[in-house]
Amino acid sequence: MSVRDLLTFNLFLQVTDGLVSYQAFALGAAEANPVVAAMIVNWGMIGGLVYNKALACLLLFLIFALSRSQRFLAMRALTVTASVYVCAIIVCVWEILR
C-alpha cells in the first residue's frame, strides 16, 4: 500500500467518522473528546463536526507532506491513524445499534 493509498483511506475514514458521529449525536450520544465536545457546544453539532474533521484532514495532509523526506514515518503515522479511526467508527456504530 502506498502513502497516497493510506492518505485516501484516512480521508475516507474521516468522512465516515463524521457521518457516523452525526448520526450518533442525533440519537443522543455524547462526545467523549472534551475538545470536540467544546467545539460542538460553541458552534453547534454540524459546525463542530465540520471544524473537527477539517482540522483532522489538514493534519493528515501534513503527515502526507512529510512522506517526501520521511516516507517510513509517514506510512507508520497514517497506518496508526487509520487503525484508531476504524476502532472509533466501530465503537460509534456499536453505540448506534445498542
**SS3 per-residue string spanning 9-77:** HHHHHHHHHHHHHHHHHHCCCCCCCHHHHHHHHHHHHHHHHHHHHHHHHHHHHHHHHHCCCCHHHHHHH
- Count of structural domains within the chain: 1
| Widest pairwise Cα distance in the chain | 45
Most confident region among 23-27, 40-44, 55-59, 89-93 by mean pLDDT: 55-59
What range defines the domain where residue 11 resides? 3-97
- Using the predicted structure, report yes or no on whether residue 38 has a pLDDT greater than 90: yes
The predicted model scores a pTM of 0.90
25 vs 71: CA distance, rounded Å: 37
pLDDT at position 29 over 90: no
Confidence of residue 98 (pLDDT cuts 50, 70, 90): confident
Angular region, 34: left φ>0, alpha ψ -120 to 50, beta rest: alpha
What whole-number percentage of the chain has pLDDT above 70? 100
